[in-house]
Structure 1
């Protein structure tokens, strides 16, 4: 099942990464105005928040694997549909569909790791989070050549093939499970989350939002996502306003994305070996602080140093993904925690890029905008003290009131 998890992870950022480099080409053909382009820019975070929150509800009814298959098919259908549309509003709507499937996949992968690899959480989380980072950096390298050779519609729609490939291993799992049921057997010998007795689930009837641990993880995740998306949105302009060429700003953003790869692999492995990984998160938060101070005080002479620090700081993301499983006892708990953390976290991150832009426009300087980001890093550091405590969700959430 490792192949199935990695293939799904490969799909979870494509709807964003494959379109950004060719957005100007798309805008000329589909006649986007600036308002619609802004809506498209906000669509990933909003879609991840909304559909991520819905994923646990659907999974509770359908099961993890069927919900994942549906999510990937939804994503692929959205990719194909938006590549054929002529209307800008329809392009955004189908983009939301594609992003929604990916948002559900974001939430479902941690509990699937918990179910199939409970004794290798760090290693498997490292594998799939690194794949997600790879899927962020690779499509931009291919989208422009594809668009030049075959047109933007082929460039956008062709990525749907990966969604189809990603569902194949899970279809095999479901087919084997159905055949086993017909024979009265359990094919994979693994308990379904719904079959775990409530007593063993450690409060399986609880609500994640009642848990301080869940809130700590959600705020940590949200503050990190806010910083990540704000950086990708504004770093090129920050560097351009500091005197660098436009092309150089783009290259530094590319480096920022690439630097996420090593920590995507190392972060979960380190977190799994530490009883309380707060020192690791604090170190990554310090990288954010140093990078922002550097951009504010000396953006050009030390550009390489600041970008490296900010790239390493993105390691908070895979650490939180690992903690979703390390801080739960069951796949049921991991599903609830993953949906809560990512749903709340992405919702918290939505206003981040806009807020940075508003502060810059109001003050005419990037220093106050960077100060806002420094405050969010402080919130991240405080919230992570709760998120990293050696506790288990099922022991911290309150039971639902009796009906």
Structure 2
């Protein structure tokens, strides 16, 4: 099955993710009466962390994102933060779904949740965008590049997000956070390359240059809704990992697509970029740096960025493995992510030994 077929659309609610429809219907009547009566609920096939549902109502469709029930790691799955950031970004005219309502009362459906607009459009679950021509593909990659550059150019104070995270020492704090989550999740076990990276990364982080931006944390083609007929991003989705951070750290997470193998989410290493119309890694990085007015990273800095981001993604896979053990994994594809953990950790460690 292709990634597109596996992840797109919504289907029946999966076992363990059922919603108490009577309580939800009552809450909607009181807090979102303009939506009309709830008619149908289905669960989206994509997504790895926060269970996400399509609500069909008398006036159309909207999306519900909830924190998983059961035991979750401290600081994870903060849907309240997602609601805050998309509210601010919507006001700043950045492409995100319109926020509709937030419920922090766990008694309603068993965990906090929020509602947002259902943005219609096209999501490319396969990172090489195989249904497009080379010229169309080139335009879509150009748009992705411009969109993340636009995010990083926003004035965090002017849009009311200066308290959305702690400025400064971004890499040190992120390394500490993901190392802690990895080390504390006993149910997911340990990996030798992850252990090596926990020690290597703090010793090789570049000096803090004071750069602060709203960072998405998981910027990929499949977290963007494109217009169905042109290279326009209508909405950027999945803001669970967003915070204030270093823009180059966020962009190089996106840049990992060039180095991840095709069977890992978001990767196309080894693809014939020229034939596909996809810019080279160097050209894509240069285009971003020109847009935001940054000097491109040195080979040593890029080595760190790639190792850091692959470690971070591997820590996320490790967390998914732990959620499987706890019975709280939200995606039917969670086991595939967990199975890729060792390979990704090895690839992350390999970045520390490269010269470019």
Q: Please give the TM-score of this superposition, normalised by the length of structure 1.
A: 0.22
Looking at CA atoms only, which structure, 1 or 2, has the larger radius of gyration? 1
Q: Relative to total residues, which structure has the larger helix share, 1 or 2? A: 1
Answer 1 or 2: which has greater strand percent: 2
Q: TM-score, normalised by structure 2?
A: 0.25
Higher relative contact order (CA 8 A, sep 6+): 1
